Structure 1
Amino acid sequence: MHMAKYASILPLISLVFIMLIQLYPGEAITLTIENNCDFTVWPVILTTNGTTSNINSTNGFSLINGDSRVINVQPSWAGRVWGRTDCTTNNVTGNFSCLTGDCGTGRIDCQGLSLTSPVNVIDLITAQPVGNQDFYNASVVSGYNLPVAIVPHGGNTSRCALTGCVFYNDIGCPEELRVTNNDSIIGCRSSCDVYRTDETCCTNENDCRRDNFSVRSLIFRRGCQRAYNYALDVVNSTFSCPTTRTSYTITFCPIPSIAREVCEPFLPTFELPNDSAEPPSTSDSKRNRIILLVGLLATAVISILLVLGVWTCIRRRRKVIKTYNDSEVFDIKNDVMDSLQFDLNTIRLATNNFAVENKLGEGGFGVVYKGKPEKGQEIAVKRLSKNSGQGASEFKTEVVLAAKLRHKNLVKLLGFCVALDEKILVYEFLPNSSLDRFLFDRRNQASIDWPTRFKIIAGIARGLLYLHEDSPLKVIHRDLKSSNILLDEDMNPKISDFGLAKLFGIDQTRGDTKRIVGTYGYMAPEYAITGHYSVKSDVYSFGVLVLEIVSGQRNRFFGRLQLEEALLHRAWRLWNEKKTLDLVDTTLQNNYPSDEITKCIHIGLLCVQEDAVARPRMSSIVAALNGQVVCLPTPKPPNFFGTNTNSEDDEIQKHNSTDDVYTGTQSISCLYPRD
């Protein structure tokens, strides 16, 4: 029913556009389609009103990086333009297909009317009878797959403005809407396409006012404030230009200045009355002149107030940015050597102005680039995004901790930069990237054998021991996960990313917070549920890492009713069934010492016990990995929070009963030291 309702609304929207179409004798309109992406895009030009366009007898083609194509469309043309990605040709059948935006013809040349979601499109109709206008929008109703912008040239009316959509999938797209290929996010589906409900599709005005619609259906709004986001979003997202004076450029992966403007809400300028309009009658002329004079005066006053307001905001913003950054630099200089500060121009030169080809990866807090200074070693440059959520305190924490902490299993900070609104960290460059690239990418799993995995486990343990017990500062990392374990050329692990770390006093054993940060799946249950954190929170994360390294399986956080074979469930089940070695990654092909790998699984299960006090300290874990502890205590169950299967509830209830709780008073000579 919901699907039928949504299907019925789109023809109505299209009909509104098509009803505007009227043949208009005039010159052809020029469309320039260009590709600034660092990969090939296969554009589609689909005519929707039957009027052919001059596109050299094809309406589907390829554009490599830096390539463009000029197309002339006839007046009164209506159509859609979009880009296809991840396209291949089957060597056997010769069938051409794309993972996003496919048009269903099996060829590069598109004659079909279908397109594969997710895909964002540019809608354009030209030479319409309402003031001889072109109308256009950038639509994300069918999802999002490519940054795109349409820029008009020559028009000078208030709504003749650029529009488009530049959206960051890894930050803004919920996991259930993501479309992936080889662990890369290649698109974000629309909520309506996935859920098919009135609330998510906004089939009437009442649905558009519901909370579920706001949360689920406006996910593109942050990066696409000018785009056509849902079925009833026509008024705010439709732009127009005079046909006789306008040409258009449609750009995939637009340059930063255009991308920034696309992300901003559209603020129309004031327009004076049209000089060619029919003059008023004699009897009304005096009254109309008064009305016009009042209108012009009001417009002038409002314009002056707007200019003054914008000028004041800019001055305040500049003052805040300058004060904020000066204070930030001063605070950091009080804690670390001044020699750690990098010049922004030096970093720009080293990274070729943050060129895409130097991009190493991207996370929630920003992008990491590879850099090569004129003199010196290669560097990794972490450029914090302005909307990342990592503020001055987190930035300062990461700089101070990384500068003061020195250990072979911690990533080395080389310096930092605070300039204008830029916050940048400079680290040693580690050529083998992060641990998750080896554990969860099938192309790399076979290259990481058991001796290497054990070396990584032991190295992470030594790094955590240093943070918890051996460093000048007692540090809780709070975000230990596979993507924060970097690997050098010899596959030695180094713990990175101290932005969420907390300092503890020498005698402090626990902290509390109302701001829960970190990554579900690695987060200790007592921290995720109550906000309590301690060194045992890091121990829990370490246990998850150990089980991931052994199994090659990611510990995903799914929520209720879907955790039956999540990693911790599987490890605990196999342990109780005496099938512990069934957990081992099959790519190891039995090439491992069973006693050593069993010990690692045992340690991993001890670390993820529900009772934080029962988890071992890192000093005991390092001793066990070094063979200094012969026997290990029997682990208790993990906390399977997020599930409601009866058997698991019974286990947890039994574990929490007074008759069976592990109190630490048992006489076991090889028991780990306790807090």
Structure 2
Amino acid sequence: MPTCIDNLEAKQGVLPDGGMIAVKKLEENSSVPPEKQFTNEVGNLMAIQHENIVKLVGSCYEMQKKVVEHNGKYIIVDVAETFLCYEYLPRGSLDKYLFESQRFDWDTRFNIIKGICKGLHFLHTGMDTPVVHMDIKPDNILLDDKMAPKISDFGLSRIFGKEQTRMNTQNVVGSLGYLAPEYLYRGEISTQSDIYSLGLLIIQISTGDKITPNNDDKCGTKFIEQVRQKWTLPQITSTYAAFDARRLQEVKICIQIGLECVEVERKERPSIVNIIDRLNGKREAK
């Protein structure tokens, strides 16, 4: 197992050859059991090789003796310690660049949007069976030293059967503010669940506005309504008055796509193929 050292945001691991990796410990008290997270991340990520998806380089599963209280007595039990080892990405998560003082220029933001979409396209269509990530948000987008985005954290992901287009669950878990309505209220999971979260992410990258997660707005509905009211064509033109025609059009397209992605009816949302074509100027509308 690699040696672990503290970092401000996560853990770094040092390989025997001195190389750096990121080490994630699966918590016992999380909403998804560690063994389920382990199966999801290892099983799903080992099959994925893409420039916009974080690379899993290894895993560690060890049993440790721990003293716990049980019925008023202290006993020694075996507890599984589970670690996942990823490629180390020095710039950390997208979240700190969107909403803090380190915000970057539009060209970088636009390339990040396109990179995230390419990674999601691979998950949805690039393998034998679709993978639904189920937790697309700024914290789960990591950046390499060239600011290329990589989708990370597959602890909630689901793999579909070859002919399957959706599934249902009674165990609804995920990040507040990013949950698709059909998933939150009916337990329906499909690739369109990811599209909903992607739309919220694209809007935030394009506008710099931030979702404030809370239990009263688990789908980001209030945030979406504020965006619809605020980010009209005059507002976009005024905010980005210094942009040339190309960049201004890119901003308009991104905000439009983002708002289409968060339609309440999942069938009304664009596919990831449609989104990428429009970002590349190949289509005008969904």
Q: Does the alignment reach a TM-score above 0.5?
A: yes
What is residue 289 of structure 1 aligned with on the other side? none
TM-score normalised over the length of structure 2: 0.86
CA distance 1:565–1:508, shift in 2 (3 Å): closer
The one of 402, 423, 444 aligned to 2:102:
444
Contact 2:21 2:85 in 1 (8 A): yes
In the alignment, the residues of structure 2 paired with residue 540 and residue 598 of structure 1 have an alpha-carbon distance, to the nearest angstrom, of 18
In the alignment, the residues of structure 2 paired with residue 611 and residue 617 of structure 1 have an alpha-carbon distance, to the nearest angstrom, of 13
The one of 191, 201, 205 aligned to 1:545:
201
1:381 aligns with 2:23: yes
What is residue 500 of structure 1 aligned with on the other side? 156
In the alignment, the residues of structure 2 paired with residue 565 and residue 537 of structure 1 have an alpha-carbon distance, to the nearest angstrom, of 15
Contact 2:140 2:152 in 1 (8 A): yes
CA distance 1:589–1:559, shift in 2 (3 Å): farther
In the alignment, the residues of structure 1 paired with residue 90 and residue 220 of structure 2 have an alpha-carbon distance, to the nearest angstrom, of 37
1:359 aligns with 2:7: yes
Look up the SS of the partner of 1:500 in the other structure: coil
Contact 1:551 1:583 in 2 (8 A): no
Deviation at 1:371, TM superposition (A): 2.1
1:65-464 to structure 2, matched below 5 A, reads 344=1, 347-348=2-3, 351=4, 355=5, 358-361=6-9, 368-389=10-31, 390-420=33-63, 421-441=80-100, 443-445=101-103, 448-464=104-120
Look up the SS of the partner of 2:276 in the other structure: helix
Look up the SS of the partner of 1:628 in the other structure: coil
**How far does the alpha carbon of each residue in 1:262-298 deviate from its partner, in whole angstroms, 9 at most, with x for none?**
xxxxxxxxxxxxxxxxxxxxxxxxxxxxxxxxxxxxx
Aligned length: 266
In the alignment, the residues of structure 2 paired with residue 580 and residue 508 of structure 1 have an alpha-carbon distance, to the nearest angstrom, of 42
In the alignment, the residues of structure 2 paired with residue 478 and residue 533 of structure 1 have an alpha-carbon distance, to the nearest angstrom, of 8
What is residue 581 of structure 1 aligned with on the other side? 236
Look up the SS of the partner of 2:109 in the other structure: helix
In the alignment, the residues of structure 1 paired with residue 227 and residue 187 of structure 2 have an alpha-carbon distance, to the nearest angstrom, of 26
CA distance 1:372–1:568, shift in 2 (3 Å): same
CA distance 1:500–1:559, shift in 2 (3 Å): closer
In the alignment, the residues of structure 2 paired with residue 386 and residue 476 of structure 1 have an alpha-carbon distance, to the nearest angstrom, of 23
What is residue 483 of structure 1 aligned with on the other side? 139
TM-score normalised over the length of structure 1: 0.38
Look up the SS of the partner of 2:260 in the other structure: helix
Contact 1:536 1:612 in 2 (8 A): yes
In the alignment, the residues of structure 1 paired with residue 94 and residue 238 of structure 2 have an alpha-carbon distance, to the nearest angstrom, of 19
In the alignment, the residues of structure 2 paired with residue 544 and residue 455 of structure 1 have an alpha-carbon distance, to the nearest angstrom, of 17
**How far does the alpha carbon of each residue in 1:454-489 deviate from its partner, in whole angstroms, 9 at most, with x for none?**
000000000111000112331011011100000000
Contact 1:409 1:460 in 2 (8 A): yes
Deviation at 1:395, TM superposition (A): 0.9
Look up the SS of the partner of 1:419 in the other structure: strand
Look up the SS of the partner of 1:405 in the other structure: coil
Look up the SS of the partner of 1:404 in the other structure: coil
In the alignment, the residues of structure 2 paired with residue 449 and residue 523 of structure 1 have an alpha-carbon distance, to the nearest angstrom, of 28
**How far does the alpha carbon of each residue in 1:541-567 deviate from its partner, in whole angstroms, 9 at most, with x for none?**
000000000111222244659x99943
Contact 2:26 2:34 in 1 (8 A): no
Deviation at 1:583, TM superposition (A): 9.2
Look up the SS of the partner of 2:182 in the other structure: helix
Contact 1:555 1:566 in 2 (8 A): no
Look up the SS of the partner of 2:102 in the other structure: helix
What is residue 620 of structure 1 aligned with on the other side? 274
CA distance 1:579–1:529, shift in 2 (3 Å): farther
Contact 1:500 1:518 in 2 (8 A): yes
In the alignment, the residues of structure 1 paired with residue 216 and residue 135 of structure 2 have an alpha-carbon distance, to the nearest angstrom, of 23
5+ residue gaps, structure 1, are 1-343, 362-367, 633-671
What is residue 530 of structure 1 aligned with on the other side? 186
In the alignment, the residues of structure 2 paired with residue 383 and residue 413 of structure 1 have an alpha-carbon distance, to the nearest angstrom, of 14
CA distance 1:578–1:565, shift in 2 (3 Å): farther
Q: Could you tell me which amino acid in structure 1 is paired with residue 203 of structure 2?
A: L
Q: Could you tell me which amino acid in structure 2 is paired with residue 499 of structure 1?
A: G
In the alignment, the residues of structure 1 paired with residue 137 and residue 263 of structure 2 have an alpha-carbon distance, to the nearest angstrom, of 18
In the alignment, the residues of structure 1 paired with residue 221 and residue 274 of structure 2 have an alpha-carbon distance, to the nearest angstrom, of 29
What is residue 520 of structure 1 aligned with on the other side? 176
Contact 2:132 2:158 in 1 (8 A): yes
Deviation at 1:580, TM superposition (A): 4.7
Q: Could you tell me which amino acid in structure 1 is paired with residue 93 of structure 2?
A: S
In the alignment, the residues of structure 2 paired with residue 512 and residue 487 of structure 1 have an alpha-carbon distance, to the nearest angstrom, of 32
Contact 1:574 1:582 in 2 (8 A): no
In the alignment, the residues of structure 1 paired with residue 254 and residue 208 of structure 2 have an alpha-carbon distance, to the nearest angstrom, of 14
CA distance 1:558–1:425, shift in 2 (3 Å): closer
What is residue 226 of structure 2 aligned with on the other side? 570
5+ residue gaps, structure 2, are 64-79
CA distance 1:581–1:392, shift in 2 (3 Å): same
Q: Could you tell me which amino acid in structure 1 is paired with residue 249 of structure 2?
A: D
What is residue 167 of structure 2 aligned with on the other side? 511
Q: Could you tell me which amino acid in structure 2 is paired with residue 370 of structure 1?
A: Q
In the alignment, the residues of structure 1 paired with residue 176 and residue 237 of structure 2 have an alpha-carbon distance, to the nearest angstrom, of 25
RMSD: 2.3
Q: Could you tell me which amino acid in structure 1 is paired with residue 99 of structure 2?
A: F
Larger relative contact order (C-alpha < 8 A, sep ≥ 6)?
Answer: 2
**How far does the alpha carbon of each residue in 1:107-160 deviate from its partner, in whole angstroms, 9 at most, with x for none?**
xxxxxxxxxxxxxxxxxxxxxxxxxxxxxxxxxxxxxxxxxxxxxxxxxxxxxx
In the alignment, the residues of structure 1 paired with residue 213 and residue 174 of structure 2 have an alpha-carbon distance, to the nearest angstrom, of 13
Contact 2:177 2:212 in 1 (8 A): yes
1:34-49 to structure 2, matched below 5 A, reads none
In the alignment, the residues of structure 1 paired with residue 135 and residue 143 of structure 2 have an alpha-carbon distance, to the nearest angstrom, of 17
